Structure 1
Amino acid sequence: MKILQEYTWDAIRRNKKSSAAIMVAIYLMTTMMSCLCGFFYTMWTDNIQMTKRESGNWHGELFDATYGRELEQIENFESVSEVMIKGPWQVLKVSDEEKRPYLITRGADQEYWDSMAEQYSIIEGSVPEKAGEIALSKQYFSSHPEVKIGDTLTLPSGERRNGTEKIDANVARVDGETFFQTGTETYKVVGKLDVVSESVVPGYIGIHYLDRKTIKPDDQITVYLRFQNIRETYRELPKIAAALGWEKDEYGEYNLRYNTDLLIKYGVISENQRSMLAEGSMGVFISMAGVMMALVVALFVLVIHNAFALSANERLSQLGIFSGIGASPRQIRKSILFEGFLLSVIPVPLGIFSGWGLDSLAMSLINEVNQSDRVANPVVLTFGLPAILPALILALLTVWLSARIPAKKIAKLMPVEAIFAAADSLKVRRRKRKPLYAVLFGTEGELAANAIDARRKSYRTATSALVISFLLLFGFQYIVTVQEAAAKIYEFDSEKFWHVQVWFQDGKLPSPEVTERLDAVEGVKHSLYYNGLACATWQEEDKASEETEKYMGGFEKIASSGKYSTFERDGKYRIAATVIGMDDENFRSYCEAQGIDPEPYFSDPELAVFYNQTEDPFHGTRKRPILREFLELQEGEEILFTEKNVDGIDGDHEFSLKVGAVAEQLPPLEMEPSHFTLIAVAPLSHVFAQAEQCSETRRSSGTRVKGYYLTDDTDGISYQTISRVADEIEEIMEETYGLGDYDMTDSATKRNLNEESSRVMNLIVGFLSGMLAVIGIANVWASITGNLCQRKREFAMLRSVGLTPKQLRKMLWLEGIFLGLRPLLFSLPFQAVFLGVYLHFQEVSLIEYLPYAPYGLVIGYTALILLTVSGAYIVGERKIQKESIMEGVKDDTF
C-alpha cells in the first residue's frame, strides 16, 4: 500500500494539469457549497432574530388564569428551561382628565425584560432593572411634558369601581366609574416606550420592574415559558395545563398560546400544521426544494467525477500492472480515493473561505438595499460552524463519491483488462454516414456529429451534468415565478375598496362633523364607514339548506371534520356569524344594488339583510370556488344571535334579527368570510348599539369603526394623490382624535413597502440564480475540457489526413453547438414535468403563468451555456493547433 501511496504522490506531481483540473473543480464546488450553506444559515438566523425582536423569545404561554401560588409548580417542571412573568395589573391615578385619568401598569420580571419584545420598544432611556423603576408610554410624556426620564413619581394607587363593584384595570371605560384609593406607589421613570393605547381604555400604559419575591399567592399573573427542548413544546405545555387542573374548551383544547412564528422557524410544527402542510402547496414547495438540493449535489458529483475519471483513465495501465504484481482491488480503490483526499487538502479550506467572502458581499448588498425599510439591525453574516460543517461534510462527501465511482469501476478490472482497456479507451466507435449533417453543415458537421456519437459513453457524464445544470437554474426560477404568479392571481386587491383606510378606535361612532371633514378632503371620490360584530347562532340540523345537506353532508359532517368553527352540543350546532354595520348612504346603495328597499331597515333595528352563501370546501378549489346556499332562511323569520361565539367569551348578550331580504352579493368591503359563516348587514348605528351592550372583549372589537376612502382613479391610480390625501386625513385625525385613538394606512405606503421587499427578494433570487449559473458554467467547462483532453490523438489523426485548421475549428464549433443543444432538449421533458407539477399544486394554469415565465433568463442562460461550450472548444482547439501532429499521435493528453 505504501508503494501505491508513493505512486499516487508521483502521479499527482507528474500530471499537474489533470491534478490542477481536479483541484479547481473541488475549489469551485466547495466555494459554492460554502456560500450556499452560509447564505441560508444567515437568512435563517436573521429570520429568527427578527421574530424574537417582534414577538419575543418564548415558546408557549399559559393563557388562562394563572396564580402566584402555582408558580413554584410550573418552575419545577423538568422540561421547563425559563419562566417569564408579568405580574398583576395596577391602577394609578394621574389626573382628572376625561380621556386618560389613570396610569395602568404591570410588572415584568428580569427574565421577561431580557427575552421579550418590549425591550426593543424603549426609544429613550433604559429598561427597568430593579424594583421601583418604570417605563412609560410616549403618550404619557406627550400629555405630561413636565415629566422627564429620571424623575420620580408618587401617585395614588387603587381600583376602578362601578359603584361598589371592582372593574378590571385594563377594560374599557364604564360610564359613572370612580377611583377608589388603597395606597400610594413611588416609581422612578427610566424609559420611554414606543407604544400607544386607545382612549376607550382610560389610561396610559406603563411597565415596571417585578421582583418575583413580591408575588402573592392570589396574584393573577401571565406566564411565558421556554422549554429545555423546543421540539417538546406542543407536548409539554398541555401537560402543565393538565397538572394545574385546567379544563379543556369545547374543542378539547386548553387555553394556551404558542409562539408559532418562532417555533416553525425551528422546524417545530403542531399536528394541525403538519396536516395543513401535507394537504397544501407548502409540502410540494418543500419537496421541490429538496429535489433542487439533491440536484446540486448530483451536479457536483458529476463535475468532479469527470475530472477523477480522466485522471484514473490516464493511470489505467499502470494500475493494471500494480494489480498484476499483487495489489488488491481494495488497495487500488484506496489509491484513487487517497488521490481525492490529497487533492482536497488545499481547495476545500480555500473554497470555504471564498464562500465566506461571497456571502459577505451578498449581505452588504442586501443591507444597502434594505436599509430604508428594515427596523431591526442590519443582517449580520453568521458564518459559524453550523454553516462550515455542512459545507465541509458535503464537500468531502462529494469528493468521496466522485472518486469512488471510477475507483470502484477500475478496481473490478482484471490486470490484463486494465492494461488493454487503457489502449481501448483511445479507440472510438466506427463512424456511420450522416448525410443530413453533411448536407446542412458540410464534412465538418458530419465529423462533429460522428465524434459525439462515437464517444457517446464518454460524453454521457458531460451531457448528464449539462442536463442537471439546466434543471437546477430553470427549476429554481420556476419555483420563484410560479409563487409570484400565484400571489398575483389570488391576491386580494384592496385597491378596489380603499386607497386610504382609517380605524376609529375611541369606542364611539365617528361624529358627522368629522366624517364630513374627511369626505371633503380634496381628492376623495368616495368614502364608506362600517363595523363588524362577531357572534354566533345556534341551529338544529334541519336548518341546513338542501345544498348544505346534499353537497356538504349537513351540519353533522361539517362539525365532525374538526376543521371549521361549526360546533355541536346537545343536538344543536353553533354557527359562526358576523353582523356588519354600514353607514346610511352606503347601506342604501348596497340594498338598491341588490334590488332591496332600504327604508324599512332604518326604522326597524331588528331588521337586516342576510347573505346566505358559503364556499364549499369539499368540492371547490381556490381557483374555482363553489358557493352553496347555507341555511334554510325565510323572509320575516327571526334568527337569535349570541356574542358567545366561543365558550371563552365572558358575556352572554343575545339579540334577534329578522330576515328582511337575502342578498346575492357581499357588501363592497375588503373581507373574505370564513367557511360556514352567516353574514347579516344592517345600518351602522343599529349594529354599533348592539356591540355596546356586549361584554368587554366583544365590545372592544365591535365598536371599532373602519373608514374607506377612494381617490379618483378614472385615469389610473395616482399614488402621489393618495399620499397627499392620506397626509391631509392624518392631520384631521390627529387634530380631532389624537395619538392612540386612530390608526391608518394607505395603498401608496403599502406599495412602497412591497417594492422595498421586492427589491430585497429580487437581490436574493438574483444572487442564488447567479450561484447556480456559475455552478452550471463551471460544470460545462470542466466537462468539455476533460473530454477534449482524451482526444488529442484523434485530432492529430484527422490533421494528418488533410483536415485544415479552418475545418478543424468549424468541426469543433459545430460539435460544441450540438453538444450544448442536446442537453437542453433532453432536459425539456423534465422541466415540463417539474413545472407542471408545481403549477398544478399552486392552482395556476399555463396561460396564467406565461406572463410571469422567466423568458429572458431561459434564453440568456441557454445562450451563455452555448457560449461556454463553444469557448471551451475554442480554447481546446487553440491548444490542438499549437502542437505538432507527431506529439498528438504519441501522447493523448494535454
Structure 2
Amino acid sequence: MWKDYSIGFIKKNRASSLSVLVAAFISALFLSLLCGLFYNFWNYEIESIVLEEGNWQGRITGTYKENAVFDIEHFANVKTAAVNEELSDGQTLVIDICFYNMRTVYQDMPLIAQKLGVPDSSVAYHESLLSTYFIHDPQDASPPLLLAFYLALLLLVSVSLVLIIHNSFAVSMNARVHQFGIFSSIGATPGQIRTCLLQEVAVLSAIPILLGSFIGIALTFGTIQIVNVLADGIVGRRDAVFTYHPLVFVITILVSVLTVLISAWLPARKLSKLTPLEAIKNIDELQLKRRKKSRILARLFGVEGELAGNALKAQKKALRTSTLSLTLSFLGFTLMLCFFTLSGISTNHTYFERYQDAWDVMATVKDTPIEDFTYEDEIHALDGTDSVIYQKAEAYSSVPTEAISKKVESLGGIEELAGNSVSAADDTYTIQVPIVIMDDSSFAAYCEQIGVSPSGTGSVILNRIWDSVNSNFRYKEYVPFLTEEQDTIILQNCDDASTAVTVSVLGYTQEPPVLREEYGNYVLVQFLSVSTWKQIKEVIGNAEQDAYIRVLDTKDRTLTELNKIEMELTNILEHEFMLEIENRVQEKIDNDAMLNGYKLIIGAVCALLALIGIANVFSNTLGFIRQRKREFARYMSIGMTPEGMRKIFRIEALVIAGRPVLITLPVTVLFVWFMITASYLNPMEFLSVAPIVPIVIFIAAIFGFVTLAYYIGSKKILKCNLAEALQSDYMG
C-alpha cells in the first residue's frame, strides 16, 4: 500500500520530486568534487615530498658498522632500512628507515637508537612526510595542521550540505502534513510514515547520487587540468597527475547517502511526531507568527510590496541557508578580488615595477667570495647586456654628532627619525653600515656615473636617511644623513667594535648603483671596489657567503632573450660554481600564474557557495508551489490580477538577490578603505584597476538565477486552476 502511495505521489508531484532530485544530485556532486580534490592534493603533496626529500620515515646517524642495517631490519615493524649514500661519509653512516605501521615511528625510533647504542639526538623524523599522514610528534605543542584544516573544511561542507538538503526535504514533506494526518487518523503508525517518506527519498536519490558522483570525478579531473595549464611554466613545478582511488568513490557514495538520509530523516521524524489532530488542522499555507509591516517594501512597491514582505518573513527559516550562502559567496568573491588587486598593486610597487629597470637576470654564485671570482671579463662581455658582480657585508660606524646634517637636525634629530635603530653614546652615534662590494670595472663605471673619481682606495657613501616625519613607507622621501665634510669614515667589525679600520671617502651620493637591493631606512650604505675590500676584509669580515651577478638586458628584454642570457651564464660558470639563476620576466609569469591559481581555488569555493544558495532558492521556490497556490488563490478572490501576482514574485526575487549585495558592498568598501589606508596607497591607483566588471557579472548571475527560479515557480502557479488548488491534495 505504502509503495503504491509513494509511486503515485512521486508521479503526481513532479516539482516536489524534482527538488529532492536536485538536492541529492548537488550533494553527491559537491561531495565527490571535494573528496576528489582533497585526495589529489594529498597525493600530490606526498609525491612532491618523496621526490624532493626522499622516501623515508625515520633516519638514524651513527658510527656503527654496515651490519647495523641487518639489525634494524629485524625489528618487527621495520619495512625497509638502507644506507643513505649521499649523506654518509667514511666514518658516519646515515640509515633511512620505513615502517609497516608508520604511526608508531615516534615510539619505535628511540628503541632502535637504544639497540644500536646511539643517543636520541642521532634520530631524525621525516616530519613533512609524516604530517601528510596526520602523524605528529606527541611532544610537539604546535604540529602542522594544514591537511587537518582541509579535512575539517571537508567535514564542515558536508554538514552544510545536510542543512541545505534538509530544507529541500522539509519543504516537500511539510506540504503533505494534512495527508499524513488523515493516514494517521485511520491507523498509520509514526514508523510507517517515516518508512514511507524514506523509501521515497531512496527511490528519488539513487540515480542522482551516482550521477553526481561521476560528474564530480569528471570535474575533479578538469580542475586539475586547469590548474596545470595556469601553472604551466612555473620553474621547479611538476604537473599534477589525476589519481583516484576506489576507496574515495566508496566514501563519497557512503557520505552522500548518509547526507541524504540525515537530511530526510530530520523532517520525516518531525512530521511523524505530529498528532492526527494537529496534522489534519494544518492549513498547509505560509504562516506568520507575528505580523510586522514591511515599511520599506510597502513604500516602494505598494500593496504588492507589503504582501511580498510578509511572504519572505514566513519563509525566513527556509530561506536562511540561501541568504547565508549567497551573502558569503558574494562577500568572499568581492573581498578576494579586491585583496588580490591591492596585493598586485603593492607587489608591483615594491618589486616588479621598482626593479624592472634594475635587473633582468640574477645569478647567485654559491659559497664564492667575490675576490676569488675570476670570470668578470666573460660576464661583462655578454652581448647586449649591462652587468655588475657584487657581494654584501656588514659593519658598524661611529659617527660624531656634529657630522649629522642640518636637515636631520631640523626634523627633530636622528632620534626622532630613526628611534631605536641608531644608538647614541657620548657624542657619537653607532650606525649600521651595509657594505656592497662591486667588481672593479663596475665600481669605476658607477663612480663615473655619479661624478666621483674612482682612483685610490676608499668608499662611496649613500648619504641619505628616510624622512619618516613627512613621508610614509609607500612613497618615501629622503634627506641627507651627513654633512659631507668628512674625508674618512671608521668601519667597525660587527662582532668586535674595537676592531676597526679607517677608510677614505671618495664621495657622497643619494643615487645608489642599479642593483636588485633594498637598503635599510636608517643606515649608511658603503659602496666599495674589490680592490679596497681586499685591504680591509680581514678587519671587517662578516661578508656573505654568496656572490651575485646582476644582468640588465639592453636589447628587447623578451623572455626568449633572457633565457638566452641564462644559458650563456650557465655555460660560463656551471662547470666550476653552484648557481641559482632568476629571470625577472619568468618570475612575473610565475607570480601571475600563482595568483590565477589562488583566484581559481577561492573563486571555485565562492561559486560553490553561490550554487548552494541558488539551489536552495530553486528548491524552496519549487517546493512551496502548493502552499503559494493557496496563498494566491486568496489574492485572486479579492481581485488581484495575474500581473499583480507577478509583481509580488519579482519583489521577492529582488529582495532575495539584493540582500547579499546590500550587505556585501558596504563591508567591501570598508575593507578596501582600511587596506588602502594601512598600506598608504593612492586610492586612485586602486580605482583605476578595481575589479568592477567581474563583481558586476557575479551580481548579475545571482540576480539572473534567482529571477529564473521565481519565473519558473510563478509560471507554474499562474497556469494552474487556483480554485482547484484549494481542494486537491495533489499539485497535478
Aligned counterpart, 1:787: 624
- Quick check: 18-27 or 593-602, which moved more? 593-602
Between the aligned partners of 1:382 and 1:369, the Cα distance in structure 2 is 19
Between the aligned partners of 1:774 and 1:637, the Cα distance in structure 2 is 65
Aligned counterpart, 1:719: 557
Between the aligned partners of 1:255 and 1:608, the Cα distance in structure 2 is 50
Q: Of Structure 1 and Structure 2, which has the larger fraction of its residues in strand?
A: 1
Q: Any idea what the Cα deviations from partners look like across 1:548-593, whole Å, max 9, x if unmatched?
A: xx989x9xxxxxxxxxxxxxxxxxxxxx999864334666899999
Give the deviation of 1:437 after TM superposition. 4.5
Aligned counterpart, 2:530: 684
Task: Describe the shift of the 1:492–1:274 C-alpha distance in structure 2 as closer, same or farther (beyond 3 A).
Answer: farther
Aligned counterpart, 1:639: 493
Task: Describe the shift of the 1:528–1:17 C-alpha distance in structure 2 as closer, same or farther (beyond 3 A).
Answer: same
Task: Return the match for 2:283 from 417, 423, 426.
Answer: 423
Q: Any idea what the Cα deviations from partners look like across 1:26-68, whole Å, max 9, x if unmatched?
A: 1122112212221232233234323433443234544676753
Aligned counterpart, 1:27: 25
Aligned counterpart, 1:361: 222
Between the aligned partners of 1:709 and 1:497, the Cα distance in structure 2 is 8
Aligned counterpart, 2:325: 468
Aligned counterpart, 1:196: none
Give the deviation of 1:219 after TM superposition. 5.7
- Letter in structure 1 aligned against 2:530: L
Gaps spanning 5+ residues in structure 1: where? 88-105, 109-167, 169-217, 249-253, 537-545, 555-575, 614-621, 626-633, 643-654
Aligned counterpart, 1:542: none
Q: Any idea what the Cα deviations from partners look like across 1:14-36, whole Å, max 9, x if unmatched?
A: 54442232122211221122122
Between the aligned partners of 1:304 and 1:759, the Cα distance in structure 2 is 32
Residues 497 and 710 in structure 1, CA contact (< 8 A), matched pair in contact too: yes
Aligned counterpart, 1:708: 550
C-alpha root-mean-square deviation of aligned residues, in Å?
Answer: 5.8
Task: Return the match for 2:167 from 306, 326, 330.
Answer: 306
Give the deviation of 1:304 after TM superposition. 2.1
Aligned residue for 1:225, secondary structure, equals strand
Query: 1:410-809 residue pairs with structure 2 within 5 A?
Result: 410-420=271-281, 422-423=282-283, 425=285, 437=297, 440-441=300-301, 445-454=302-311, 456-472=313-329, 474-475=331-332, 478=335, 482=339, 485-486=342-343, 489=346, 492-493=351-352, 495=356, 497-504=358-365, 508-518=372-382, 521-522=383-384, 524=385, 526-532=386-392, 581-584=437-440, 602=458, 636=490, 639=493, 658=501, 670=516, 683-684=529-530, 702=545, 704-711=546-553, 719-720=557-558, 723-724=560-561, 727=564, 730-731=567-568, 734=571, 736-737=572-573, 739=575, 741=577, 743=579, 744-758=581-595, 764=601, 767-809=604-646
- Letter in structure 2 aligned against 1:874: Y
Between the aligned partners of 2:255 and 2:680, the Cα distance in structure 1 is 35
Give the deviation of 1:884 after TM superposition. 2.6
Between the aligned partners of 1:363 and 1:686, the Cα distance in structure 2 is 55
Between the aligned partners of 2:682 and 2:31, the Cα distance in structure 1 is 34
Between the aligned partners of 1:263 and 1:551, the Cα distance in structure 2 is 44
Between the aligned partners of 1:876 and 1:749, the Cα distance in structure 2 is 53
Aligned counterpart, 2:263: 402
Task: Return the match for 1:223 from 73, 82, 95.
Answer: 95
Q: Any idea what the Cα deviations from partners look like across 1:76-118, whole Å, max 9, x if unmatched?
A: 556644333244xxxxxxxxxxxxxxxxxx799xxxxxxxxxx
Aligned residue for 1:498, secondary structure, equals coil
Task: Return the match for 1:863 from 695, 700, 714.
Answer: 700
2:206 matches 1:345: yes
Task: Describe the shift of the 1:830–1:436 C-alpha distance in structure 2 as closer, same or farther (beyond 3 A).
Answer: closer
Between the aligned partners of 2:106 and 2:516, the Cα distance in structure 1 is 34
Between the aligned partners of 1:532 and 1:635, the Cα distance in structure 2 is 18
Task: Return the match for 1:83 from 70, 74, 81.
Answer: 81
Task: Return the match for 2:34 from 33, 36, 39.
Answer: 36
Query: 1:235-274 residue pairs with structure 2 within 5 A?
Result: 254=121, 262-267=129-134
Q: Which has the higher contact order (CA 8 A, sep 6+)?
A: 2
- Letter in structure 2 aligned against 1:776: G
Between the aligned partners of 1:535 and 1:73, the Cα distance in structure 2 is 53
- Letter in structure 1 aligned against 2:50: K
Residues 342 and 686 in structure 2, CA contact (< 8 A), matched pair in contact too: yes
- Letter in structure 2 aligned against 1:383: Y
Number of residue equivalences: 679
Task: Describe the shift of the 1:730–1:296 C-alpha distance in structure 2 as closer, same or farther (beyond 3 A).
Answer: closer
- Letter in structure 2 aligned against 1:527: S
Between the aligned partners of 1:610 and 1:227, the Cα distance in structure 2 is 59
- Letter in structure 1 aligned against 2:552: L
Q: How does the TM-score come out when normalised to structure 2? A: 0.72
Residues 393 and 434 in structure 2, CA contact (< 8 A), matched pair in contact too: yes
Aligned counterpart, 1:318: 179
Between the aligned partners of 2:597 and 2:708, the Cα distance in structure 1 is 34
Aligned counterpart, 1:877: 714
Q: Calculate percent identity across the aligned residue pairs.
A: 27
- Letter in structure 2 aligned against 1:46: Y
Aligned residue for 1:392, secondary structure, equals helix
Q: Any idea what the Cα deviations from partners look like across 1:515-561, whole Å, max 9, x if unmatched?
A: 4424xx33x3x53212357999xxxxxxxxx99xx989x9xxxxxxx
Residues 34 and 352 in structure 1, CA contact (< 8 A), matched pair in contact too: yes
Give the deviation of 1:268 after TM superposition. 5.3
- Letter in structure 2 aligned against 1:361: G
Between the aligned partners of 1:470 and 1:865, the Cα distance in structure 2 is 10
Between the aligned partners of 1:846 and 1:240, the Cα distance in structure 2 is 62
Aligned residue for 2:726, secondary structure, equals helix
Give the deviation of 1:875 after TM superposition. 1.9
Q: Any idea what the Cα deviations from partners look like across 1:766-806, whole Å, max 9, x if unmatched?
A: 55554444333322222222223321122233234433333
Aligned counterpart, 2:427: none
Give the deviation of 1:867 after TM superposition. 1.7
Between the aligned partners of 2:562 and 2:36, the Cα distance in structure 1 is 45
2:670 matches 1:816: no
Residues 498 and 708 in structure 1, CA contact (< 8 A), matched pair in contact too: yes
2:255 matches 1:383: no
Task: Describe the shift of the 1:408–1:451 C-alpha distance in structure 2 as closer, same or farther (beyond 3 A).
Answer: farther
Residues 175 and 284 in structure 2, CA contact (< 8 A), matched pair in contact too: no
Between the aligned partners of 1:783 and 1:516, the Cα distance in structure 2 is 72
Aligned residue for 1:423, secondary structure, equals coil
Between the aligned partners of 2:266 and 2:697, the Cα distance in structure 1 is 34
Aligned counterpart, 1:172: none
Task: Describe the shift of the 1:868–1:19 C-alpha distance in structure 2 as closer, same or farther (beyond 3 A).
Answer: same
